[in-house]
Structure 1
Amino acid sequence: MIKAPVLQSLLASRDDVIHNPEFNNFRATEQECLYLLKRCKNIEEFKQVHARFIKLSLFCSSPFSASSVLSTCAHSGWDTSMHYAASIFRVIDDPCTFDYNTMIRGYVNETSFEEALRLYIEMVEKGIDPDNFTYPCLLKACTRLKSIREGKQIHGHVFKLGLEADVFVQNSLISMYGRCGEMALSSAVFEKVESKTAASWSSMVSSCARVGMWSECLNLFREMCRETNFKAEESGMVSALSACANTGALNLGMSIHGFLLRNISKLNIAVQTSLVDMYAKCGCLEKALEIFKKMETRNNLTYSAMISGLALHGEGEAALRMFSEMIEEGLESDHVVYVSVLNACSQSGLVIEGRRVFEEMLKEGKVEPTAEHYGCLVDLLGRAGLLEEALETIESMPIKQNDVVWRSLLSSCRVHGNVELGKIAARELLKLSSQNPGDYLVISNMYAQAQMWEDVAKARTEMANKGLKQTPGFSMVEVKGKTHRFVSQDRFHPQRKEIYKMLHQMEWQLKFEGYSPDVTQILVNVDEEEKRERLKGHSQKVALAFALLYTPPGSIIRIARNLRMCSDCHTYTKKISMIYEREIVVRDRNRFHLFKGGTCSCKDYW
């Protein structure tokens, strides 16, 4: 029996292999070859060592040597190494489970996912039993290929072999189902985990984040913090920060930031970028800029997050300066960055600058314009009221028109009250067999603004016939670490009596400031009194009343909503900020509005 300390010393020095007396009965030549194998730096050196194994008949006589040669080649990352590894694998007389696992892992690492699945099928057909190291790599292949059918079959094999309790297999199943959008199955696997580690929790949190289940993501993260004493992998932290960014949960995001600073000496670029994104999307633009400026290394995603944040706050000119800084640092613009810059121009009404950026993108030719880029350009022109030019842009697109561009034009036509062009956009959008209930609502609202009630009824009937249900508008506000969600005319909150008393008080105060409800924002055919009552209960107003009641005097109120703010709520909130001397930050579907002293940062352009 070879003693472990001696083996380690032999691997550290070839002279020890040759001269150590403890190895009189051990093949020193094999150890010498293994020593050389570990020190190969490229495929050429490796081939020379491989030839030595063959020359000394070690490759055929020693399964350990054969597996070592295969593993070194398959996991090296050298160019053509997997092709060479496949040739080695095919001459092994009796490949074992370890050898198949080596090849499967190698194929997955070089993104040859189909090859990995084919090799697994061969492994099963030859009667070679997989083990717990086989399945994490296989499930990763299914995840990347979005092959949920194969993933379910592999899950069946896992269950049959009794490996469903292995924590690495469980994490891979949770991730695979989550990334493929099968959240019910992902949750089912998660619930069966008896002793949940931080890595099992992080997989589930990340799964929820990937499919946009932000509330569920945060609920899981909070539960994880209770169960594991706030332990989490960085992937889970990044996912939780993304959820905070998308729900406006600033307090939780700040808590995560604090935990990271206390427990991790140096944050990686992914975490720092997530913090920039979270603070920007939660309305703390200055904090986002502070973190951004302190970063030692930045990449395209970092700049994109910062430019998007500036766009959300209507800082279009600052976003353009940031874009120029990125180019000066030697980073090339990609698809995502151009979308962020064009969106920044759109939010701030920078039509000339937006056209220039789009033309530069076409001229450089490094980024192929997509429908998303054209959608940004159409949105830029449409917001500025240049509807004819927006239509011409769509009609002259060199790529196939899709729902994104027509939806942008339709939305602008509704805002500017251009029903004729809106009809064209609606017709083209519905030709694409839209299953988006929001499209029918925009069409319906456009007709309602023009008091074309028969057309309103037709749009809503077609929506109902297709079985489409609208997502109700809602507003969220965070108070004492808990997020409260309100819908229009909300009567279900435990503090509803106090909230509606506050709303009544706010209405009285507003009358003295000359506020008059804009009933044109109620897009249903009811009388004026009913319209006034409906306006009073808009979700943003309900959330604002709750925040005024349950946040400290003078503190900033932060509200997040899922739809574009109506003009009545905009006027209402401006006056409330003045009456109650509070800064109010509202994030709607498109951007942030900072209300202070009776004015808004958007300068009434949104």
Structure 2
Amino acid sequence: MASFDSLLLKCSRLSHIKQLQAHLLITGQFQFCPSRATKLLELCSVSSAGDLTYAVSLFRRLQTPSTNDWNAVLRGIAQSSKPTKAIAWYKTLCGSPQKVDALSCSFSLKACARALARSEARQIHSQIVRSGFGVDVLLQTTLLDVYAKVGDLNCAERVFDEMGRRDIAAWNALIAGLAQGSRPTEAISLFKRMKEEEGLKPNEVTVLGALSACSQLGALKEGEKIHRYVIDEQLDMITVVCNAVIDMYGKCGFVDKAYWVFHNMKCRKCLITWNTIIMAFAMHGEACRALELFHQMSKAGVNPDTVSYLGVLCACNHAGLVDDGFRLFNSMRGCGVVPNVKHYGSVVDLLGRAGRLEEAYEIIDSMPMYPDVVLWQSLLGACKTYGNVEMAEMASRKLVEMGSNHCGDFVLLSNVYASYERWDDVRRVREAMRKRDVKKIPGFSYTEVDGVIHKFINGDQSHDEWRRIYAKLDEIKFKMKPYGYVAKTSVVLHDIGEEDKENVLYYHSEKLAVAFGLISTNEDTPIQVIKNLRICWDCHVVIKLISKIYNREIVVRDRARFHRFKEGFCSCKDYW
């Protein structure tokens, strides 16, 4: 008879595993050769030929299952579509006569990461400390990865700091966790420290985390350094890395650089590659180029999916191409792509931006699925733009009925009332916000100067250079007078004097960031600003004038899109 291991290798179907199990039972090896039973369990739990349900039934036949047997099934369940069952299996193991080992903890932690089970991960961490497994580098790395993925970054950092020896996987886990956990500045700092101070060589996973952080911050200089490293180390032969570089350049405001990377890729372009560049053009308002690429991908044999259609619909939104957007939306089903709520939301936004509010409402009313809060928020935003009080109130009621407690819902309705100077209604909305404990999200902006990220909030005086920044804003205010600039104080939601309203407007975070850019960079250097909210009308007018007066190119990325200001004009053509 062939050796047991060679027979295992030949098991390509569940029927083969059953035949082998029958042989072990007949020969008595299933009970008296524990290692063979364990290997059979591993094959049945983890391999494509196996079946978890059958693996559990095999396990139940064992009179005294070993820790290895428990682990074999635990590993399979942790990798399955129901990782929470692995956590339950681990708890059962803890109550059995068998002892938990480092592998048991590792498989369970991986299940916690997939299930985002934070409290269970902490309990397993305690078990690791009590059992003395804390010195296991691989287990520490797994623990760090879990904390990073469940968003407990403080615990992740603590595990990282306590590690006696850190491998590349530990650095990667923390960099990715910081980047995905809204701490991108720290992710970039950690990437630099790893490379420059520790002398470790970043791999493709490392650069993916660092590029993601650069994308969030609009940190072009750091992103360019990482791109050079990618080229030097030939990581540009990996499609997923090229996709991340394209995304980084797009989100840092340089869509032409993103397209250069896309056009010159040495590796295969996948569907995500096409979607990434299409969405980059959409964010920059380059609808024609987005549409052209959308048609090219079909010719290249890549079938568009729901994300592809969403990208071109967004492009039509930002350019006001209502007919093109409708044509694409109506063609989806014919191409085998079923529209989801996001596509309907994009069409509602498309009509709302164009002022066709009644048609937008009809789309919501006739949808085949229940509209989500985003659709009503899109309609409410359009009502604010076009001053439709009645429809704004209706959309606001719908949002309240759906239990939405987002500050933007209240602020938009308050904006509509304020534009008509209905201050009693503004106060009523603010009182509703107070009763519901709704906090307004403060506006803040980032700008990068000499590789350092500077953050500003509205009315900020915490920056070291705040006096020079405010002096520059005073200079800008004086220089704008000949151009007929008048502050649009109607967007300020307070029943206060005009002068106070102008002061509130004039110290918005994006204006502070642009002023800092003017005093901190050379005259031929573009100024880049990332803002967490949509840019307001007044800031848009002011930055257009700044670009003309100071002959500076200014790129602002707000929550919805990019605005490229040059010679007094904006790439959005005042349509946003």
- Cα distance change of structure 1 residues 264 and 123 upon mapping to structure 2, 3 Å threshold: farther
For residues 216 and 437 of structure 1, what CA distance do their matches in structure 2 show?
28
1:121 and 1:524 map into 2 onto residues whose CA distance is: 57
1:181 match: secondary structure: coil
1:158 to 124, 128, 131: 128
Structure 1 residues 583, 181: CA separation in 2 closer, same or farther (over 3 Å shift)?
same
CA contact (8 A) 2:271 2:302 kept: yes
1:495 and 2:495 aligned: no
Q: Quick one: distance in 1 between partners of 2:505 and 2:336?
A: 49
Residues 554 and 565, structure 2, Cα contact 8 Å, conserved in 1: yes
CA contact (8 A) 1:490 1:539 kept: yes
Looking at structure 1, the residues matched to 324 and 106 of structure 2 have their Cα atoms a distance apart, in angstroms, of 49
How much has 1:228 moved relative to structure 2? 2.9
Q: Give yes or no for the alignment of 1:549 onto 2:519.
A: yes
Are 1:199 and 1:233, in contact at CA under 8 Å, matched by a contact in 2?
Answer: no
* Structure-2 residue corresponding to 1:450: 420
CA RMSD of aligned residues (A): 2.5
Q: Which amino acid aligns with 2:45?
A: A
Counterpart residue type for residue 188 of structure 2: L
In the TM superposition, residue 147 of structure 1 has moved relative to its aligned partner by 3.1
Identity between Structure 1 and Structure 2 (%): 37
- In structure 2, the residue matched to 1:113 is 83
Q: Mean Cα displacement is larger for which, 304-313 or 425-434? A: 425-434
> Is the deviation greater in 216-225 or in 269-278?
216-225
Residues 198 and 228 of structure 1 are in contact (CA less than 8 Å); yes or no, is this contact kept in structure 2?
no
**Residues 533 and 119 from structure 1, CA distance in 2 versus in 1: closer, same or farther, beyond 3 angstroms?**
closer
String of CA shifts for 1:159-195, please: whole Å, max 9, x gaps: 3222233333333333333333334443443443344
TM-score, structure 1 as length reference: 0.88
Aligned residues of 1:316 and 1:348 also touching (Cα < 8 A): yes
Q: Pairwise mapping of residues 386-535 of structure 1 onto structure 2 (< 5 A)?
A: 386-535=356-505
How big is the shift at 1:233?
Answer: 4.6
Q: Which amino acid in the other structure matches residue 253 of structure 1?
A: G
Q: Is the 8 A contact 2:79 2:111 kept in 1?
A: no
- 136-145 vs 282-291, which moves further: 136-145
Q: How far apart in 1 are the matches of 2:269 and 2:564? A: 28
Q: Which amino acid aligns with 1:208?
A: L
Q: Per-residue displacement from partner, 1:198-230 (whole Å, max 9, x unpaired)? A: 322321222233344434433444444455335
Deviation, 1:95, is: 2.6
CA distance in 2, matches of 1:165, 1:472: 44
Partner residue of 2:151 out of 169, 181, 184: 181
Query: Contact 1:175 / 1:186 at 8 angstroms: preserved in 2?
Result: yes
Q: Is the contact made by 1:143 and 1:180 (CA closer than 8 Å) also made in structure 2? A: yes
Alignment-mate amino acid for residue 254 of structure 2: C
Residues 452 and 191 (structure 1), Cα distance of their counterparts in 2 relative to 1, 3 Å cut: farther
Q: Secondary structure of the residue that 1:461 maps to in structure 2? A: helix
SS in 1 for 2:460: coil
Q: What secondary structure does 1:153 align onto?
A: helix
Q: Quote the Cα distance in structure 2 between the aligned partners of 1:395 and 1:187.
A: 49
> Equivalent residue for 1:5?
none
Which whole-Å CA distance do the structure 1 matches of 2:85 and 2:548 have between them?
A: 65
Residues 1:320 and 2:296 aligned together: no
How far 1:502 sits from its partner (Å)?
A: 2.1
**Contact 1:314/1:347, CA 8 A, preserved across alignment:** yes
Match of 2:309 among 314, 317, 338: 338
Evaluate the alpha carbon distance shift between residue 230 and residue 494 of structure 1 in structure 2; reply closer, same or farther with a 3 A threshold. farther
1:600 and 1:315 map into 2 onto residues whose CA distance is 13
Give me the whole-angstrom Cα distance separating, in 2, the residues matched to 1:156 and 1:334: 45
Letter in 2 for 1:384: A
Q: Counterpart of 1:336 in structure 2: which amino acid?
A: V
Q: In structure 2, which of residues 20, 24, 38 is the aligned counterpart of residue 67 of structure 1?
A: 38
User: Closer, same or farther in 2 for the Cα pair 1:529/1:113, shift >3 Å?
Assistant: closer
Question: Aligned letter for 1:311?
Answer: A
Distance 2:60 2:196 in 1: 51
Q: Does 1:250 align with 2:220?
A: yes
Selected match of 1:355 from 309, 326, 329: 326
- Taking the aligned partners of 1:168 and 1:468, their CA distance within structure 2 comes to 44
Q: After superposition, where does 1:142-153 map in structure 2 within 5 Å?
A: 142-153=112-123
Secondary structure (helix, strand or coil) at the match of 1:133 reads helix
2:537 counterpart of 1:567: yes
Relative to structure 1, is the Cα distance of residues 498 and 196 closer, same or farther in structure 2, using a 3 angstrom cutoff? Answer: same
Runs of 5+ unmatched residues, structure 1: 1-28
Q: Deviation of residue 309 (structure 1)?
A: 0.6
- Distance (whole Å) between structure 2 residues aligned to residue 523 and residue 361 of structure 1: 42
Q: Does 1:259 align with 2:259?
A: no
Q: Greater Rg, structure 1 or structure 2?
A: 1
Structure 2 Cα separation of the partners of residues 230 and 586 of structure 1: 35
Gap runs ≥5 in structure 2: none
TM-score (normalizing by structure 2): 0.92
Deviates more, 1:325-334 or 1:560-569: 325-334
Alpha-carbon separation, structure 2, partners of 1:265 and 1:249 = 20
Provide the residue aligned with 1:382 in structure 2: 352
Which amino acid is the alignment partner of residue 388 of structure 1? E
Instruction: Report the alpha carbon displacement of residue 258 of structure 1 after superposing the two structures with TM.
Output: 1.9
Contact persistence 1:33–1:53 (CA under 8 A) = no
8 Å contact from structure 1 (residues 97, 131) kept in 2: yes
Q: CA deviation at 1:363?
A: 4.9
Once the 2 structures are TM-superposed, how far is the Cα of residue 533 of structure 1 from its aligned partner? 2.9
Aligned equivalents of 1:543 and 1:124: distance in 2? 56
Q: Distance in 2 between matches of 1:117 and 1:487?
A: 43
Q: Which amino acid aligns with 1:448?
A: A
Greater displacement, 86-95 / 155-164: 86-95
Aligned residues: 575
For residue 541 of structure 1, report the CA deviation from its aligned partner: 1.9
Q: How far did residue 83 of structure 1 move?
A: 4.1
